[in-house]
Amino acid sequence: MKVGVHMSFTVINKQASSLFSLIADGQYRNTSLGLNAWKTLIGSQASLQTVCNKEGFNVVCTDNSSSKARIGIIGNDKYNCTTCDSRIEFGTGGYDDDSNTCGNEATFAPDNGHEHI
């Protein structure tokens, strides 16, 4: 991921025949990188809600208008992942800015302030 002049990479260990096979069917597949590993991809500006986090491939909240990600982590400020308002991701959309498809969106009490990266 490239943010300004900052470029970061991470390895996601997941058994599959291809990346396409992980995302094409739309089924959620979890990963266990953790919040800090995802935030490292963005850098010191990264921000995410931390009460409820869900990460992996085809990550969605119960409310379809909330944050979603083909690959990434989504967060909520409540003890459920129903209405997620933050994300660090690749191939995403949802609340707050549906046009931001790669990067970081964070609103409603994220840990490092509101972000639109």
Predicted confidence at residue 38, as pLDDT, reads 94
Question: Cα separation of 3 and 84, whole Å?
Answer: 23
In Å, the largest CA–CA distance within the chain is 39
Question: Cα separation of 109 and 112, whole Å?
Answer: 8
Per-residue confidence of the chain (117 residues) as pLDDT tens digits?
555 666 778 889 899 999 999 999 999 999 999 999 999 999 999 999 999 999 999 999 888 778 889 999 999 999 988 888 899 988 877 766 677 778 899 989 999 999 988
Q: What's this model's pTM, rounded to 2 decimal places?
A: 0.87
Q: Rounded to a whole number, what is the distance in angstroms from the first to the last CA of the chain?
A: 11
Q: What is the pLDDT of residues 47-74, one digit of tens each?
A: 999 999 999 999 998 887 788 899 999 9
Predicted confidence at residue 2, as pLDDT, reads 54
